[in-house]
Chains A and B, each alone.
Chain A
Amino acid sequence: MSIRFTVNGTEREFAGDGDMPLLWYLRDHARLTGTKFGCGGGFCGACTVLVEGKPQRSCLLPVAALAGRSITTIEGLGANGLHVVQQAWLDEDVAQCGYCQAGQILAAVALLERTPDPTPTDIESITNLCRCGTYVRIRKAIARAARAKRT
């Protein structure tokens, strides 16, 4: 039995093992490699994607649970030019190794969708790990993106 869902606006059909986490479907099968593997336990958030606009750890999300759902990955976010959050990431020169940043950006996009004017405490609700320690610039980039969205 195959499972149908949408990734970055494109209809997808998957006939393999429905237990496969979305992460590995995206990477190994759809070859959308911007979504990263960090821990496989939902702790680090490197695999964050948006499902119906909500941030989800794709390493814990079986493909079978996604029938009819719409998924956005980092590749989809930038499809029509840079998203305001991506631009803020460039303006603050956030990245060091860059490995966690796709997940961080998607978490920030979702935060700004539900909280357009986030307080520092709102920003602290993001639990994605950054091993390089770019948190200071992530805070600044989210604040910058929030300002940019308002104008």
Chain B
Amino acid sequence: MNARVQDVSRRTFLQVSLTAGGALLIAPVISRVASAQNAQPPANPFNLMIRIEPDNRIVIGAPSPDIGQGVRTSLPMIIADELDADWSRVAVEQLPLGIDFSGAEPRWMYGSQGAGGSTSIPDAWAELRQVGAQGRSLMRRAAAARWGIAADEVATRDSHALHPDGRRLPYGELLAEAAALVLPVEPVPLKTAADYRIIGRPQPVVDAADIVTGRARYGIDVYEPDARTAVMLRCPYFDGDIASLDDTAARAVPGVRAVVVIPGPKPGDPITMNLATGIAVVADDTWSALKGCAALKVEWTRGPFASESSAALDRQCEQLLAGTGQVVHDTGDFTAARANAARVVQARYRIPFVSHATLEPQNAFVHVMADRARVIGPLQQPAGASRAVNLATGIPRAAIRVEMTRSGGGFGRKLTNDFVAEAALISKATGWPIKLMWTRDEDLQHDFYRPFGQHELVAALDGAGAVTGWTHRLASASKYYRRAGVAAADMWGPELYPDDFPAKLVPNYRLEWLAVTSGIPRGSWRAPAHTANAFVVQSFVDEVAAASGQDPLAFRLRMLGADRVFDYEQHGGPKFSTGRLRTVLERVAAEIGWGRRLPRGQGIGLACHFTFGGYAAHAIEVAVSPQGALSIGRVVTAIDCGQPVNPLGISAQMQGGTIDGLSTALKLEITIAEGRVVQSNFDGYPLAMLAEMPKDIEVFIVESSESPSGCGEMGIPTAAPALANAIYAATGVRIRSLPMRDQLADALARV
């Protein structure tokens, strides 16, 4: 995914040293030549990957921010296993953003540190294993010298070096000797999977004890000395502006210290900093700032999209789909396949805008000083935060320190750092350290929403029921809207992934995209286009199976055909294995008892999809009352994400992804009226409650020694289509428009 930072090279160079307290520190190298030229101290005062204390406790640095996807647990597990550390005595510290700007090219110090596109694990896998293995090699060499034996005679386990004669030395007693050794330049050998003692075993969230006692620190919990709190009111109209502003009453609120107008991007310009024009009320505390905001008297201009509405966007899609668009992929001859087909199946689907709605509203602490700046926040893309502050202030990126707290959700919202830019602009304008707090209303009304679109699918079948042609035509509002440097011809890129199922499995295969014009900002919403396209494709596969009298499982297996590996050029590649997808599909079908006879009003639905390197499937059983009341019964998921790193974390991601997928499909939609978002809190955007969600979600993790993918996004795409397919199996009602809301009851009432 495009969430990744491209401007820094990947290799992490390590050095070993002894701290004043006698701990061994294995940390990234900062170029000496360049830092000598720098008047400033290094941007990161504590820089570590591994610290081994004399009492044998070990601290491991977590490179990527934890947004609920569990990487503060799983990434250190990778280092700890190769180090042969005793995990029960490992503590994890969050690393700050580490980019070394001292060389000709910026260089990641701790490996890439974004959290997006399920990339943290696959990006870090090789590098973090090498970090741990280098540490272990130091310990073996230090013990070997102590014992007068060869290093390869020294075994390790649970933070101890083991002599062949049974003697044991804690790592903590070898630190001085280890610190005198030179780390190998060449990569050291890594463990084989059979030797993993931490990887692949269930490990609870490292911060769990802090979370259940309220001690875990999120962005909202940053209370820096002398910081003031800012709350903003932003123009609700897309590309609107301030028509008039009277801040007299706001300034009169006790505790309010300043009112600052923060201009937004010009209409149509790329969004590189903040999202919209707004007014910041800066106060001594949050309540005063909120009251100040409420006291602002502001009139907005309605901007160029004042007539935009959800209904108008639907009409626009219908008009577009009546014409022709940009053919972005064309294999074989779909037109001929259709003309020669024994049967043609066609259906239209609709996917709404949705919001990320992280439970922690956007917030950031930024202190802009004369020649440097400091950022602390719940970030998904800390390198982007540094870029945003640089753009907002002109301060060189090397002088911007970025620290990450835990984040109360991310889901792609924080891949953009508009809220960091705002805090920087307010800090720059006032000179104060600023903690910017978004309200929920502002959060739901100013997001980078998952794109809306209408999809038209057509399948051509021969007389034997084989699919000979397939077309997917999509009219959507591209995610790349107002992204710098994207040509009009490339706007389709994030909307359709040409190598997704059933590409290469159908001889005549065409993808066509049509550009919907809309003023609403768009962005990456957890598993971006996969959530839309897997719903559409996996629902339509079921429709084609039904229309041609084929069993939905058998039909999917027939389409997948013999196990093969294809090139996959989009994010998640470079390869796609039909066999791995088949395996997860067959697994959920077997676990749920596919094929058994069910009473009237009950049904099972299936779906499978390849998402960002991982293979996932859902089987969902539902019961529907004659009045259309839906009850979700068993929910079974399977995932093949390669070598599982933390099975407990994978299971949580699959359960949570399933609930995100179901909650979103059932009820959630952002609608537009008069050029602005209608919804403004959870009453209008009703995230599912516990009572509405399945009592259990069974997760099966495929044993694999393949290189690991991430798992933060694989649980979502197949949940909604499996549900829709189950509803169809139970009732014969096909739901083609999300969210489902009352469509089922309405359809049954019409029968």
Mostly, the A contact residues are loop
Q: Which 5 A-B pairs have the closest CB atoms?
A: A34-B214, A133-B659, A97-B68, A99-B408, A124-B691
* A31-B223, A124-B690, A133-B663 known; A38+B361 contact, CB < 8 A: yes
Partner pick for B205 among A17, A77, A98, A126, CB 8 A cutoff: A98
Give CA–CA (A99, B410) in the complex, Å: 11
Q: Does B440 touch A at the CB level, under 8 Å?
A: yes
Give CA–CA (A61, B696) in the complex, Å: 34
Q: How far is the CB of A29 from chain B (nearest CB, A)?
A: 7
Is the Cβ of B213 less than 8 Å from the Cβ of A17?
no
Q: Does A112 touch B at the CB level, under 8 Å?
A: no
Q: Does A134 touch B at the CB level, under 8 Å?
A: yes
Q: Does A144 touch B at the CB level, under 8 Å?
A: no
Partner pick for B683 among A41, A124, A139, CB 8 A cutoff: A41
Closest A residue to B213 using CB positions: A78
Q: Does A132 touch B at the CB level, under 8 Å?
A: yes
Q: Does A60 touch B at the CB level, under 8 Å?
A: no
Kindly list chain B residues whose C-beta atoms are within 8 Å of the C-beta of A129. Answer: 359, 682, 687, 689
Is the Cβ of A44 less than 8 Å from the Cβ of B223?
no
Q: Does B648 touch A at the CB level, under 8 Å?
A: yes
Closest A residue to B652 using CB positions: A96
1/0 per residue, CB under 8 A from B, across A22-40: the answer is 0010011101111111111
Is the Cβ of B214 less than 8 Å from the Cβ of A100?
no
Q: Does B286 touch A at the CB level, under 8 Å?
A: yes
Partner pick for A133 among B288, B406, B657, CB 8 A cutoff: B657
Kindly list chain B residues whose C-beta atoms are within 8 Å of the C-beta of A74. Answer: 212-214
* A43-B681, A136-B655 known; A98+B690 contact, CB < 8 A: no
A-B contact count (CB 8 A): 190
Closest B residue to A125 using CB positions: B691
Interface size class of A (residues with CB under 8 A): 35 or more
Q: Does B360 touch A at the CB level, under 8 Å?
A: yes
Give CA–CA (A34, B409) in the complex, Å: 16
* A82-B212, A99-B359 known; A43+B218 contact, CB < 8 A: no
Is the Cβ of B285 less than 8 Å from the Cβ of A131?
no
Kindly list chain A residues whose C-beta atoms are within 8 Å of the C-beta of B648. Answer: 93
Q: How far is the CB of B445 from chain A (nearest CB, A)?
A: 13
Give CA–CA (A121, B648) in the complex, Å: 27
Kindly list chain B residues whose C-beta atoms are within 8 Å of the C-beta of A46. Answer: 359
Q: How far is the CB of B217 from chain A (nearest CB, A)?
A: 8
Is the Cβ of B213 less than 8 Å from the Cβ of A133?
no
Kindly list chain B residues whose C-beta atoms are within 8 Å of the C-beta of A126. Answer: 689-690
Partner pick for B656 among A73, A90, A96, A120, CB 8 A cutoff: A96
Q: Does A71 touch B at the CB level, under 8 Å?
A: no
* A96-B656, A138-B690 known; A73+B214 contact, CB < 8 A: yes
Q: Does A110 touch B at the CB level, under 8 Å?
A: no
The CB with the most chain A CB atoms within 10 A, among B68, B411, B658, is that of B68
List 10 additional A-B contacts (Cβ < 8 Å) besides A17-B288, A27-B286, A126-B690. A36-B218, A36-B408, A38-B359, A39-B681, A43-B681, A75-B215, A99-B218, A101-B211, A132-B68, A132-B409
Q: Does B339 touch A at the CB level, under 8 Å?
A: no
Kindly list chain B residues whose C-beta atoms are within 8 Å of the C-beta of A99. Answer: 68, 218, 359-360, 406, 408-409
14 A-B pairs (CB sep. < 8 Å): A17-B291, A20-B287, A24-B286, A40-B441, A44-B440, A82-B213, A89-B211, A98-B208, A99-B406, A99-B409, A127-B689, A133-B659, A135-B693, A136-B696
